[in-house]
Amino acid sequence: MEFNLIDKQQEFLKILEKQGKSFNTVKNYKADLQCFNGFLIDKQQHLKIKAFTSAQVQEYSQFLDKKYASSNSVRRRVQALRLFFDYLITQNLFPDNPLKKMAVSPKILDTPDPTPFPEIIKSYQFLKKKVETSEGLSQIVSARNVIIFHLIYGAGLKVSDMAKLHFASILKDNKGFRVLVDHPKRDPYSVPLPLIFNTDFQFYRSLYLQFLKKEELEIEELLFNANPYKILAGGLSPRGTELFFEDLRKNIKSDMTAKSLRQSCIFKWLNQNINHSTIKEWLGVTPSYSLELYLDELKRAPSEKVFKDLEQE
């Protein structure tokens, strides 16, 4: 069956958006698929295709190797196209995935680039000040942002982990709180939160629940999406978290991202001599995941990698 490639790619990208993929993720997928379109045009093949042969797969592999020096760039474009062909299979447009046997070089992990600890302290102080100097919905949003900060630096959560957390995901234990991560592809696990989280969470929960009751809103999610006038929905998309960090970077003149803050958390745990197996469990990664890059950085510049729980300051 012949079909228009561009139309199907647009459908695929819209599905990614509905699944809650971040704006940047969808944009990257689009760029990766456009790379494939460029290959087809280069080969003078129309963007309506009936098949994609093993010979063409090999040609595309050679095309990528010539175009990109980074093996990670090649890997990402192959993965994007592989997922797109999986989508075409669900639409009964292809019998199987021609990319499945395409070999790519192993992923090369980037050297960790954590947010320096002084910037973490500065950011937290800025966020707390925003809570103290705002009111109404603006204060609730500011209090929410403090919780986002704790979930990443305190518990090492990924943006995708936070998106659908509920209040029931915050568990009380003898010392304080833990956050329960219920991942769709692996067993649930919980991560302890630092003691400084206790007061900030209790304040946020009280303020947020009072607002929901007043507005007669039924929301169970821990975080929420809002505009300056009202809460739009429970849960915070990855794009919503990205917008928070964009705003934070402008205000504190920092390069901080959710990723760099999470890496700071990993260094913090290493400085606290947390067992490596425990760190991997808290990160939600497999036992085979390697912390060697972090350990090498810690040995290379130990004075630059001193991270603590915020309440120690």
pLDDT for the residue 312: 44
* Nearest-angstrom CA–CA distance, 182 and 184: 7
Q: Is 164 helix (H, G, I), strand (E, B) or coil?
A: coil
Instruction: Calculate what percentage of the chain has a pLDDT beyond 70.
Output: 93
pLDDT for the residue 267: 97
pLDDT for the residue 44: 63
pLDDT for the residue 313: 44
DSSP strands (E only) in the chain: 3-4, 48-49, 170-172, 177-181, 189-192, 224-226, 231-234
* Nearest-angstrom CA–CA distance, 56 and 98: 9
Q: Which residues of the chain have pLDDT under 70?
A: 1-2, 44-48, 101, 103-109, 184-185, 312-313
* Nearest-angstrom CA–CA distance, 300 and 120: 21
> Helices 23-42 and 71-90 meet at what angle, rounded to 10?
90
Which residue type, as a one-letter code, is found at position 193? L
DSSP at 270: H
3-state secondary structure 169-209: HEEECCCCEEEEECCCCCCCEEEECCCHHHHHHHHHHHHHH
pLDDT for the residue 140: 97
pLDDT for the residue 108: 53
* Nearest-angstrom CA–CA distance, 46 and 126: 54
* Nearest-angstrom CA–CA distance, 171 and 303: 34
- Dihedral (C-alpha) 203, 248, 240, 12: value to the nearest 10 degrees? -160
Task: Decide if 48 contacts 3 (C-beta within 8 A).
Answer: yes
Give the mean pLDDT of the chain.
88
Rg over alpha carbons for the chain, rounded to the nearest Å, is 22
- Residue among 50, 51, 52, 65 nearest 103 (CA): 65
| 215, two tokens | 């507005």
Read off the pLDDT of residues 123-169 as tens digits, 9 standing for 90 and up: 999 999 999 999 999 999 999 999 999 999 999 999 988 988 999 99
Buried b (16+ CB within 10 A) or exposed e, 218-241: ebebbbbbbeeeebeebbbbbbbb
Q: Residue holding tokens 């100097």?
A: 133
Q: Residue holding tokens 């010539």?
A: 66
Domain ranges of the chain: 3-90, 117-312
CA neighbours closer than 13 Å in the CB half-sphere of residue 29: 22
User: Given 3-state DSSP classes, what are the helix, strand and coil percentages for the chain, each rounded to the nearest 5?
Assistant: 60, 10, 35
Question: Which residues, at least 6 apart from 94, have a Cβ–Cβ distance to it below 8 Å?
Answer: 51, 52, 85, 88
Q: Is 88 helix (H, G, I), strand (E, B) or coil?
A: helix
Question: Could you name the CATH architecture of 117-312?
Answer: Orthogonal Bundle (1.10)
